[in-house]
Chain A
């Protein structure tokens, strides 16, 4: 019988509790225990960024965080991005501009792009490409992803002014 740890954390604003083994990653728990399967597993070794989430305001690969480490933490996943039926401007622009094909990398890219725009509402193309360098997409060739982020950034800046 493996040792289990009891963890209490906030996920997308809701307090939640789970039991985990020490070696289980946050990605395992999000997908298999909390049934939040929007976060995808790509490589499982921190190379691809598909499992990107925010933990305590920091963008991380959830495959490289142990669930037990998140005790008392604040976790934000793709499931928290839309407000009810209203998509986030990034989500809407990715749909409208075809910033995805198979979609596996998309949740991670949306989380990463949102973190970028929170720090820098008007990034250059180069800044976007460097910020998203840890998010691999094997379908689009990135161009539509970059254009979707730029369009969302513009829309969000205009909404604010």
Chain B
């Protein structure tokens, strides 16, 4: 028994080489709030842990082309406390804020929340609605993919062996654009979403919605980007009829499971109600943003 090998490289190239060359099970370590629990409970026994927190590109929040690039290993607390990012993407921050306790947020990374691939991960619907693009590096170089293409099922991602999510790019915001994320849980804190809804929208000067993206969490094996729900909003002023169509489209997109947090029927119903509320919150924010 050799035990677990721990490496903390300071370049992406070195991290990729370690992961690509690994023979046994390997895991990337960022905040560790999932992988350490999996190790403690013997769900995974990695031969190699690659800590990516010493790699500059994974640990920065930086401006880029008027938008933001967030390192995959940036902990939730740093994102929540980033004033300029919170102003530009309040819905993403709504989601990140819900990732566990203060202690958990001090460690848990945004990249980990995506790559753990929980259908109920709170930051993921908001990132998908935001149109966030993940930058991935691997043995064959760099590629950029929309966040919704990363999770492929509970606990499973589309990453190939040796690949690492480096960062997420969130584009520049036009005037009168904003986003919101709401989740439904029986308790207000320390719970897992029964349903999560993110709405990202832009208005023209007259208040008509010109662009929208709607994403649902915890109602299917992966977070869903629901085009029909967005189409219900585009071209409207989010009047009652538009919000009704949004709610219907959100409920129709659900493919939920029954579990201890809620039945299928309950989740389908709540998805519509929550989509309406979340769209109204995004609308309020968009009206105020410039």
Contact = CB atoms under 8 A, between A and B. Distances in A.
A105 interface: no
A45 B41 contact: yes
B190 A25 contact: no
Interface in A19-63: 21-23, 25, 44-47, 49, 52, 58-61, 63
A64 interface: yes
A61 B102 CA distance: 10
Contacts of A133: 101-102, 189-190
Interface residues of B, number: 30
Contacts of A2: 1-3
B3 A65 contact: no
Contact of B103 (A3, A22, A44, A52): A52
Contacts, number: 88
B40 A112 contact: no
B39 A23 contact: yes
Given A60-B107, A66-B32, A133-B190, A46 B37 contact: yes
A134 B53 CA distance: 24
A27 to B, nearest CB: 10
A55 to B, nearest CB: 8
A145 interface: no
Given A2-B2, A23-B4, A68-B6, A45 B106 contact: no
A69 B101 contact: no
A130 B190 CA distance: 10
B49 interface: yes
A100 B52 CA distance: 39
B4 A22 contact: yes
A64 B51 CA distance: 14
B4 A21 contact: yes
B281 interface: no
Given A25-B40, A65-B32, A66-B49, 19 more contacts: A2-B1, A3-B3, A25-B36, A47-B190, A58-B107, A59-B103, A60-B107, A61-B104, A61-B107, A63-B36, A64-B37, A64-B104, A65-B36, A66-B29, A69-B53, A115-B102, A133-B101, A133-B190, A134-B190
Closest A-B pairs by Cβ, 7 of them: A134-B101, A2-B3, A22-B6, A22-B4, A58-B106, A133-B189, A3-B3
7 contacts: A2-B2, A52-B103, A59-B106, A64-B104, A69-B32, A69-B51, A133-B101
